[in-house]
Amino acid sequence: MISFIIPSYNNLQHLKNVYTSIQKHEPQAEVVLLDDGSTDGTWEWIQQQDCIKFRSEQRVGHTILYDKGIELATNDIVGILHADMIVGPNYSKNLLKHLKPQTVVCATRIEPPLHPEGKEKIIRDFGMDFDTLDVNSFEEFVKDLQVVEGGTSRGMFAPWILYKEDFQAIGGHDPLFAPFPYEDSDIFQRWIMAGYELIQSRDSFVYHLTCRGHRWNDQVGQDDDYYKIVSQRAARNYLRKWGSWIKNDELQYPVINPKYNVGFVIKNCNLELLTALEPWCDRIYIEDEMQVITTHYIDVEQKNTSYDLTKRVLITGYNDPQGENDIVVEFDARRVTQQSFQIVQQLSEILKESGEVGEFELDIFKVTVHSLTEYQTELVVCKH
């Protein structure tokens, strides 16, 4: 038996569609429906369904609600679904045949032509919104495809299933990314580093309308203001945690860069550059004797992160680079260009490729490498 976890915010019509598809193709499954403070009648409808029910009085996001739903689930196997998905014939059957302990299995998404094509999905138009879904054509397409398709590939994205105890063993999703997004990339990397096998089933299908659960609520293709704000915040926290940006191969399997301990020492830094550069390192040292820039930055930014910025944003008076930082990068902010900022973004890969301890010059940067110790394994278990 499997439990499906489905959070939803103001997506009642989509939620009805996914619930109907589960009843049709997965009638033995347990369903956990979680209302994220909706105002469109979602909770009233959920209360009428035969499922496990949960309501948050205010919007907390799916990062939190996935974990709450998995906590409430009573089966040993759990899986998430987006509210803007519908499952096809043989959905769980073709996932479960690949599942074993310390394995995560994801389905193959069929999507309308709204996003770029990819080797991990199928682009096919069975409707662009909840009220134009051609469910019968989707199901027939899936049945025909399952005759010739099969096997697996290496990739990971929603929707997925795994054993509940394996999800809980690494602490679930990191609330650092609440309400969303990037909680998925974070947990995918942690699964890999925990030794889990990530598998895509090529004959288990969902139709995914994309981005309706949290990004495109009012108009398809247009990000709402709330998404823009929380997405930027989550992106900055992802950089603080991992030290580099998300990278995947052509099948959307995560490529994990090393997490090094890096300190930036900057002359002539202003508030704009401090804002741009702080997430890309572990500590940043600037000349600010009156503490005007640092105080302002911390006062504004601290509400957006659980990292203690008073330990990350420091005043120059910096005499022992090896004491706090394995790698020290020194430069003058007046010389920063787009090219030099691109080097900052690629620094983890550059350091990995060089593999050398010592000093070297790189564009405007003086880089001192005391140690190339990697810290990414320390991020595996989420400490709530």
129 within a domain of the structure (yes/no): yes
pLDDT over threshold 60, residue 319:
no
pLDDT over threshold 90, residue 141:
yes
My answer on whether 140 and 191 are in the same domain is yes
Each as own residue / partner, the long-range contacts of residues 39-42 (CB below 8 Å, 24 or more positions apart, any chain) are: 39/10, 40/10, 40/11, 40/12, 41/12, 42/8, 42/9, 42/10, 42/11, 42/12, 42/15
249 within a domain of the structure (yes/no): no
- Full domain range(s) for residue 109: 2-242
Give me the half-sphere count of Cα atoms (radius 13 Å) on the Cβ side of residue 239: 19
My answer on whether 19 and 115 are in the same domain is yes
118 within a domain of the structure (yes/no): yes
- Phi-psi label, residue 211: left if phi above 0, alpha if psi -120 to 50, beta otherwise: left
Quote the longest CA-to-CA distance of the chain.
Answer: 71
My answer on whether 35 and 154 are in the same domain is yes
My answer on whether 325 and 221 are in the same domain is no
pTM of the model: 0.95
252 within a domain of the structure (yes/no): no
Give the tens place of pLDDT for each residue, 102-133: 999 999 999 999 888 999 999 999 999 988 99
Residue 290, pLDDT score? 87
257 within a domain of the structure (yes/no): no
Domain termination residue (choose one: 242, 277, 306): 242
What is the mean predicted confidence (pLDDT) over 84-105?
97
Domain termination residue (choose one: 242, 277, 300): 242
Instruction: Give Cβ neighbours of residue 123 (< 8 Å, ≥ 6 apart).
Output: 110, 111, 112, 113, 117
Our count of domains for the chain comes to: 2
Mean pLDDT, the chain, rounded, equals: 94
248 within a domain of the structure (yes/no): no
My answer on whether 213 and 351 are in the same domain is no
Give the tens place of pLDDT for each residue, 193-227: 999 999 999 999 999 998 887 776 666 767 788 99
